[in-house]
Structure formats: C-alpha cells, structure tokens
Amino acid sequence: MIVTSAMGRRSIVMEVDKPWALISEFGESGCPEDLADILKQHFQIICHKEFLQNPTLHGSKLQAMLVWNQHPRSEPSLLRLLPSLKVVSNGGVGIDHLDVPYITSLGVKVANTPGVVSDATADMAMALLLASARTIVEGYKIAVDPKATCIPQRLMGVEVTGSTLGIVGMGNIGYKIAQRSKGFDMKILYHNRNRRSAEDEQAEGASYCESLDDLLRRSDFVMLAVNLTPETKGLISRRELSLMKPTATLVNISRGLVVDQDALVEALQSGTIRAAALDVTYPEPLPRDHPLLSMPNVLITPHIGTNTYPTTRKMVCMMVENALAAVNGLPVPNEVKPK
C-alpha cells in the first residue's frame, strides 16, 4: 500500500507491518464510511462484530481500540480479550463513557480529541438557540403544510439581540459560544469552576457569576456546555429550573445526564420556563413515547454537534494520531489521565 505522510512523502507500507485496531463498525451506526481510508491507511482494522465471532484469532494482535459514538464499549469483558491493547483512543472530547481509572490500571492509555470539536459544537449551540427563539421548526411545518392558508399570529418568537446569555461551563466550547453570541449584542454571563482571565472576559464582554443560582435568575438563555462528571450529573434539576425566568430557554449541548429530564418535563409543562433546545438527551435516542418528543416548546436534535465533514475528519485524524503514538511507545498528544 502507498501512503502519503503528513510531510507529503510517499512510502510503501505492507499490510503486515500495520498495527491492528478494533472499531465498532463503519457506516450509519459507526465511523463514517467516507473516512475509513484514514483508519485503513495506518491500521489493519477489524470490526467489533467480526472480532466477537472468533476473539482468539485476533485478540492478541489488537493494540488499539478506536471508539466512535461511544462504541465499542470498553467493558472489562471486552478488555480481557485484548491482552496486547495499548490505547483506547476516543473520537470526541467527552470521555464520561470510559472508565479511565480502570482502563489505565491495565496499563492502557486513554486519549480524546479536544479542540477540534469546539467550533462545530459552538455553531450548533447557536443554531439551537436561534431556532428555538424564532420558532424555526414550527414555522417550517406551517410553510410546507398543504392545508395552510395563512400565517398564524401565534407564531411569535423571542428577541435574541440584546438578551442575556448565561453560559454554564466556559471551556473551549463555552468560550467559542461567547464569541458567537457577541455578534448578537448579547449580554454574556458565565459560571465555571475556574474564572477566565481578565483578558478573556474583556475580549468577549463576559461577566463571571460565582454563583450558578445568580446566573440562572438573570439569564434569558441558559447554555449548558460542561463536561459530564459526578459533580455535573443532575446539575440542572427542579430547584435550578425554578430559579430561571418563565420566559427563559434552556439549551443543552453537553450531555443529557447534566439535566434531570423529569424535572425538565415538569418545568416545560407548568410554564416554569419557556422552552428547551437539546442536542443531547438520556438515553439517545429517547424512547419514542417520551413526553419531550411531543412538546411544542421543545426542540431536539440527535447529538449532531460535531457532525460536519471537516470537523469529523479532524477528529478521526487526531484519534489516529493518538493511537499511533501509543502503539509506537511515544508520548500521546491528547492523553487523558485518571483524576
């Protein structure tokens, strides 16, 4: 096989020389088929289902597990079948589905793909905010309804320009959201474990709220951009929702478990808050009879925050880079260590 290096040099790599890697599958439920060539250029790939048909055939060869959309699941029952495993390389920044302390206790490194997901996810956050505020989906349904003869006056949204946005979690993604919201002349509040520098705050006109409660009371839009940790699980529940304005919208682009969904349903039904726009739920997808799916003041997308071709390609390349470093005994660029 002829491959081209990052420096543009071409060389011949024999299939037998390439390390083995396990993935879930290619296609709709797995790694995008369009990007399979990147993985196959550097690894001999075996899919999870094929591997399970005869684990002893390839188990001792596999040195990397490439996790996409949280699969394959790095459960002990699977890891026991991979005695030569050196790395679990995750496509995406969130690693709440990985038991990092357990995996690393086996001498296996863990890596993720931070940074490259931030722009696409921040774009999605603003898309959800705008679509919910301006009733875009409801408007589309009326526009294409063959029975529609007029535009109902009830199709009124809320103003985005000049409103107050409260960002919960001001990491890379949260900061990118702040940059975008500045273009709408929004007043930006944020709550974070660590306060950003004065330079960062001044650049985006962001004001720090030491108290989450204070941010919730003051915001017209509450944007959740935190990692899922034991501390953030159920971060937004009945008490927190009750503090929000009745005209406020909750936007979640973090993880479904950050929000108590039963409490959210109650808050939306009772008018405690105006609306919710969610790119994440728990589970994903929701059961088809879940009340959130039929509520007119809820907008849900199927966890597509990073789903653009440029971002997905960057994620796959970074996932491969991390895995190759571990397999070759080199420092892993984006290694995740247990806390």
Q: Read off the pLDDT of residues 143-185 as tens digits, 9 standing for 90 and up.
A: 999 999 988 888 899 999 999 999 999 999 999 999 999 999 9
Q: Which of 180, 191, 255, 274 is catalytic?
A: 255
Mean pLDDT, residues 272-284 taken together: 98
Task: Kindly compute the dihedral angle of the four CA atoms of residues 327, 331, 332, 335, in this order, to the nearest 10 degrees.
Answer: 130
Displacement of CA 292 from its chain's centroid (Å)? 20
Catalytic site includes residue 48 = no
pLDDT of residue 126: 98
How much is the pTM?
0.91
Q: Are 224 and 251 in contact (CB under 8 A)?
A: yes
Q: How confident is the model at residue 14 (pLDDT cuts 50, 70, 90)?
A: low
Q: Is the peptide bond before 302 cis (omega within 30 degrees of 0)?
A: no
pLDDT of 29: 80
Among the listed residues 25, 284, 321, 335, the single catalytic one is 284
> Are 55 and 81 in contact, with CB atoms under 8 Å apart?
yes
Strand order, beta sheet including 164-168:
206-208, 187-191, 164-168, 221-224, 249-252, 275-278, 298-300
CB-based contact 223:165 (threshold 8 Å): yes
Mean pLDDT computed over 11-30: 81
Name beta bridge partners: 189.
166, 207
71 is catalytic: no
Q: What is the DSSP string of 269-296?
A: HHTSSSEEEES--SSSSPPTT-GGGG-T
Mean pLDDT taken over the chain: 94
pLDDT digits (tens, 9 = 90+) for 100-112: 999 999 999 999 9
Pairing of strands 10-12, 2-4: antiparallel
Q: What percent of the chain has pLDDT over 90?
A: 90
Residue tagged active-site, from 42, 196, 274, 303: 303
Average pLDDT over residues 271-286: 98
- Do residues 64 and 327 lie in contact, with contact meaning Cβ atoms separated by under 8 Å? yes
Identify the pLDDT of residue 339.
Answer: 85
CA 339 to CA 321: how far, in whole Å? 23
Residue 293 has pLDDT above 70, yes or no: yes
Kindly state the average pLDDT of the residues 90-101.
95
Q: Are 220 and 247 in contact (CB under 8 A)?
A: yes
Catalytic residue list contains 284? yes
